[in-house]
Structure 1
Amino acid sequence: MKNIWLLAMLFLFLTACSNNSDEFENTKENEELQSLDVQFTIPESAEAGETVTLEATVTYGEEAVTDAEVMEFEYWNVKDEENTTTVDPINNNDGTYTAEVTFHHPGTYEIYAHTTAREIHNMPKKSITIDGEATAEHNHNHATHEETDDSHHEHAENFRMSFDQVENVQTSEKTKLTISPSLNDQPLENAEVRYEIIQEGKEKHEWIDATEEAGTYSATHIFPRTGLYKIVIHVTNDEGLHEHEEHIVEVTE
């Protein structure tokens, strides 16, 4: 009888050990499955001056990460590794984070997608080759609104700038910015129109080139955060015209 009890106890002990081992393996497998994954996609090449979209898809296991603590793109020319640029992307609230950048000089650029979420850091790196001739960097060629001496700018005689004021602007949605400038009561064609976008309390300025259609200049922008934004509209042409006008836009969720 004693031997039977000993055998029974040994069987129960081995079964418990086996169950604990299975639970450990399952826990370990689940931990491995619940890793932070960042799928970083960019084109292999582009032309100098062309807008390039950077996109990172962030998941934790099967869960889309919509609230990453840190998500930013950092890039540099491989021949000038000390000079890096960091860009904050737009959170599309579906696990994807996107940003648009323009490379003005040919060469090879390396880009990190710095991501921190669920107390894990992941930083995949990609490279892109930029072909063609160097293009002008408008951020350097155009003075920002703060750098101009005439903050209360008066337009040149007979120049008018009609801006379609935007309302109900929300984050992560495309907003169309449109102006119709005129000179001597005639639509101003073949001009260069750029929107300088400045969020209140931020030092970073974003520049957006508008496209023309019969004297009307439009561009779309996605505001990444709520708050007040100053939009400075710059209008220039080959005849030496350089006018600007500012507007305030409130962005809500």
Structure 2
Amino acid sequence: MRYFAIIFAIMLIISGCGTNEEKQESNSGVEEFVPIAVDIVIHPSPIEVNKEVTFEATVTQGNEKVDDASDVEFEVWKDDEENHEKIKGENQGDGIYSIKKSFANIGTYHVIAHVQARDLHTMPQRDFDVVDLTATQTETDTEIEHQHAAEGDHHHGSDLLIHFMSDEKMKVDEESKLQTHLTYKGAPLQGAKVRFEVWPDGQEKHEFIDAVEAKNGEYSAVKTFTEKGLYNVKVHVEKKDTDIHDHKEEKVTIQ
């Protein structure tokens, strides 16, 4: 009788272990896949020839800033050129990896942020312009004609250039300045009607903000963002006496 009691107790213990194992497996389930996202920011803007600028890649996974990326590398090259420069990004904390670089020539450039983090890889690309705001009208007209012949931020070929500018660090619930510098045929464009169209990335609700011309060719407006995240900003430019009606779209990150 005692022998059967011992066997019964052993069977209860084994059964209990099995139940616990099943519960652990059931509770663990399958981990939900959350991709990493990378937002590229370049500042200051506009990017001027022979002046140092900062490239930042903000890496996130869901709502979490990724500070432990195994590798972040910026690949930079000039449009239509085969030479690509690759620079390793420095970890600045808070999910930000950055490099500093200057450009000796004006033109259209491209940058790819190659990010390897948590066994995931992504490589977003951003295009940008390097300009010379001090160039004479003749020099600017010639350079712009080659630089922007195929871009969508011009009017009548390459006559209108729209250079979007914003605060380097824009934070939620604080006033942020949106600015654009306009040149038409190499000279500042004065007296234009300029509006900023702003909307959160991936959403349909758009807000239009009228800009004020602070000085020749420079227009600005102030906005307070109520939520963090990536936003689209489209600069709309109109001037009836020159038949200008154009726009250019950029992205900003609110922290």
TM normalised by structure 2 equals: 0.38
TM normalised by structure 1 equals: 0.39
